[in-house]
């Protein structure tokens, strides 16, 4: 009888929940317990001036992009996120995911001018792990914000010194599964598949010894085996970012990989990157900054550690689709600050392994 009641209770609880069936990622880490008493600085950005008044207008898209935008729009409505306005963005698209969805990105600013004289270049990536769904909405919030901002005179001025690339869904196959997963269509964790120096020696070994071949963390059979990894690597090579912001969930922290103050030759870059992180935290109600380790094949290792590109990981508190507004409210000033107000000193260590397979063409 007791068992029967428990069963009914479980049934009622799950039936009442209107959250989409999102698997809670298995990674659990202890949160910092130190109370934080940091005053949020007054917003120094023009963010408060921007109101969603500029109507989103459709722009011509290729059939592949247009079909994909319809798919995104359906998901957005399904998750209760209102319109994506996906077809109002000027998408770039070169390659596809394993299952054939476009891997696409939006550029704000003058890419040609950036090639002549490097701008403050920010690469923002979301949806690397498709079961972390709030980051995907978060990247669309960034896109909406940039759309609004750059339609104002102040915004146009700001774009003169900046170049921004936003990739809202790095791994569409994992996001569009009936039950979204961390890994891509071939079961590979794209954030363990970067061609880092330690990959051959350690990636698979660590996966076996530390993670007991956990399916959620499969680094792949070889590094860069996945189109979604190649896509990110090529974006980094093409845009040579001053900094990368990668959005995940649910670890509830800001993590940094890259040169630090203690770095011998890049002391200055390290120092400004650390203060950027600090400022981002303060602007988000003292959000926890924690040094989370990087892994063989991870972005932080590839870009931050090996290439000295300051790489900031924002881990949102959850993948609960209902929390999207809360998260954007909490972090919008930090994001605006990170994109526009912090011109980090460029690292002189440019990429050495020039790859011919750069995302060079514009649209297809």
Binding region for Zn ion (CB under 5 A): 129, 132, 248
Q: 162 or 298, CB closer to Zn ion?
A: 298
Neighbour count for residue 349 (Cβ, 10 Å): 14
The closest of 73, 57, 77 to 65, measured between CA atoms, is: 73
Q: 129 or 332, CB closer to Zn ion?
A: 129
Neighbour count for residue 5 (Cβ, 10 Å): 9
Q: How far is the CB of 176 from Zn ion (least distance, A)?
A: 17
CB 273 within 8 A of CB 237: no
Q: 25 or 118, CB closer to Zn ion?
A: 25
Q: How far is the CB of 129 from Zn ion (least distance, A)?
A: 4
Q: 132 or 274, CB closer to Zn ion?
A: 132
Q: 238 or 248, CB closer to Zn ion?
A: 248
- Give φ, ψ of 13 to 5 degrees: -60, -45
Q: How far is the CB of 248 from Zn ion (least distance, A)?
A: 3
Please tell me the total number of residues recorded for the chain in this structure.
364
d(CA 209, CA 339): 39
Q: How far is the CB of 138 from Zn ion (least distance, A)?
A: 12
d(CA 346, CA 309): 8
Q: 134 or 162, CB closer to Zn ion?
A: 134
Q: 147 or 207, CB closer to Zn ion?
A: 207
d(CA 284, CA 334): 6
d(CA 349, CA 307): 7
d(CA 116, CA 118): 6
Q: How far is the CB of 70 from Zn ion (least distance, A)?
A: 26
Residue nearest to Zn ion (CB): 248
The closest of 265, 297, 60, 75 to 168, measured between CA atoms, is: 75
d(CA 21, CA 226): 26
């Amino acid at each position: 009888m007791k068992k029967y009641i428990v069963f009914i209770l479980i049934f009622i609880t799950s039936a009442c929940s209107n959250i989409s069936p999102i698997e809670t990622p298995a990674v659990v880490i202890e949160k910092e317990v130190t109370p934080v008493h940091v005053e949020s600085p007054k917003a120094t950005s023009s963010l408060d001036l921007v109101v969603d008044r500029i109507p989103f207008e459709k722009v011509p898209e290729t059939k592949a992009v247009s079909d994909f935008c319809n798919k995104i729009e359906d998901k957005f409505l399904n998750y209760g996120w209102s319109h994506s306005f996906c077809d109002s963005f000027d998408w770039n698209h070169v390659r596809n995911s394993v299952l054939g969805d476009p891997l696409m990105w939006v550029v704000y600013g003058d890419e040609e001018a950036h090639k002549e004289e490097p701008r403050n270049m920010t690469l923002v990536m979301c949806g690397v792990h498709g079961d972390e769904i709030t980051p995907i909405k978060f990247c669309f919030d960034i896109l909406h914000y940039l759309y609004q901002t750059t339609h104002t005179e102040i915004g146009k001025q700001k774009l003169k010194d900046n170049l921004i690339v936003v990739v809202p869904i790095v791994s569409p196959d994992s996001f569009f599964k009936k039950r979204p997963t961390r890994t891509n269509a071939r079961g590979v964790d794209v954030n363990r598949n970067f061609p880092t120096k330690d990959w051959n020696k350690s990636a698979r070994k660590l996966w076996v010894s530390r993670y007991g071949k956990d399916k959620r963390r499969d680094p792949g059979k070889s590094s860069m085996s996945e189109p979604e990894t190649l896509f990110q690597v090529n974006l980094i090579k093409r845009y040579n970012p001053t900094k990368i912001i990668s959005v995940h969930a649910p670890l509830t922290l800001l993590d940094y990989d890259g040169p630090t103050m203690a770095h011998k030759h890049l002391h200055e870059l390290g120092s400004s990157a650390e203060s950027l992180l600090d400022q981002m935290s303060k602007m988000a109600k003292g959000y926890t900054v924690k040094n989370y380790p990087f892994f063989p094949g991870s972005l932080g290792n590839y870009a931050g550690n090996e290439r000295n590109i300051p790489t900031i990981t924002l881990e949102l508190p959850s993948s609960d689709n209902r929390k999207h507004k809360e998260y954007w409210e909490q972090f919008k000033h930090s994001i605006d600050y990170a994109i526009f107000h912090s011109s980090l000193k460029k690292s002189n260590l440019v990429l050495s392994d020039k790859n011919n397979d750069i995302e060079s063409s514009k649209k297809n």
